[in-house]
Amino acid sequence: MKIGIVGGGSIGLLFSFYLSSLHKVTLYTRTPSQAERINETGVNLVRGNLSECRKIQAVSFSAWRGTDDIVIIAVKQYQLPGILAVLKKQPLDSMCLLFLQNGMGHLKLLQDIKARAIFVGTVEHGAVRDAPNKVSHNGAGVTKCAVFKGEGKLLSELSSEAPPEFSLKVERDYYSLLVQKLVVNAVINPLTAAFRVTNGTLLENPFYYQILCRVFDETAEVLELERKEEYFSNVISICHNTQKNRSSMLKDIEAGQPTEIEAILGYVLEVAEKKQKAAPLIRNYYTLIKGEEIQGEGLRSG
């Protein structure tokens, strides 16, 4: 299968490395310099004490011409509009697209794309980009995907042809797949970023845990979750399983980079406003993280 991967961040590098063992992968990067470097050196993946390098073809995204069977879009949600503007300039009729963004705000952007099929997925791997050509795979997990529009044949093929150490699981219902990830992200990401703590600290510190419960309750109320207890157990077990991890939002804040707060709490807040539900804590943490983003910018420019 000819696979295009858009985005040279940690997830893009991770997918490029693993999928290239069985497929012809082209990685599309934002900057020409990252593509050049990867063409020279390959992509280096570190897992525990192991380090391995794979040759991968890399191209600047501006040169994308739509010759892949499937394109995996592994950019942040806030980068998506720019990517879609470029994608839509080429005929997409024979192509499948897999979107790996957090949140659910991007679904409305996908409605009017005329592709053969559109898939959405959630990534449960821990990965950090150490250099433009190097990624650390710290937490082995799974990628869950589902059909959003069109037929699912190619997604099943991709799933069956994934390497065993990097499995792709096909789920039946894209909505509940994304909601589950959204709830996890809505609770863990903003709180760990606000308190500057690891995921596990949200369970260990009884006061932080109280706040976690209240933010979860508000999220469940806004999203009108059925089987609320299952969603809650899922949040808790992910905090537990990733207890030593620093969440992506915490890392972004610490690095003075923009976060995915719009895709996560911004989306929940939008739903709350549509349904005219008060969501004081979600609004508070949304605003708090926006404030931290500005402080980070100040630090970088100051």
- Residues involved in catalysis: 181
Regarding 257 and contact with a second copy (CB under 8 A), the answer is: no
Residue 150 or residue 256: which is nearer to a second copy going by CB?
Answer: 256
Cα distance between residue 279 and residue 277, in whole Å: 6
Cα distance between residue 4 and residue 20, in whole Å: 10
Q: Is 62 exposed, middle or buried (0-12, 13-18, 19+ CB in 10 A)?
A: exposed
* H-run or E-run covering 186: helix 174-195
- 153-172 binders of a second copy (CB under 8 A): none
Residue 85 or residue 294: which is nearer to a second copy going by CB?
Answer: 294
Regarding 49 and contact with a second copy (CB under 8 A), the answer is: no
- The 205-244 site mask, x for binding a second copy (CB under 8 A), equals xxxx-xx--x------------------------------
Identify the CA nearest to 142 among candidates 287, 15, 229, 284: 15
DSSP for 36-91? Answer: HHHHHH-EEEEETTEEEEE--EEEEGGG-----SEEEE-S-GGGHHHHHHHHTTS-
Regarding 294 and contact with a second copy (CB under 8 A), the answer is: yes
Regarding 299 and contact with a second copy (CB under 8 A), the answer is: no
Residue 84 or residue 281: which is nearer to a second copy going by CB?
Answer: 281
Regarding 254 and contact with a second copy (CB under 8 A), the answer is: no
Determine the interface stretch with a second copy among 160-168, 200-208, 231-239, 240-248 (rule: CB under 8 A): 200-208
Q: Least separation, in Å, of the C-beta of 187 and a second copy? A: 14
Identify the CA nearest to 253 among candidates 196, 173, 175, 187: 196
Determine the interface stretch with a second copy among 24-32, 191-199, 237-245, 268-276 (rule: CB under 8 A): 191-199
How far is the CA of 63 from the CAs of 27, 28, 118, 247, in angstroms? Answer: 11, 8, 22, 33
Instruction: Give the total of residues touching a second copy (CB under 8 A).
Output: 22
- Using CB under 8 A as the criterion, which residues of the chain lie in contact with a second copy when the complex forms? 194-195, 197, 201, 205-208, 210-211, 214, 280-281, 283-284, 287-288, 290-292, 294-295
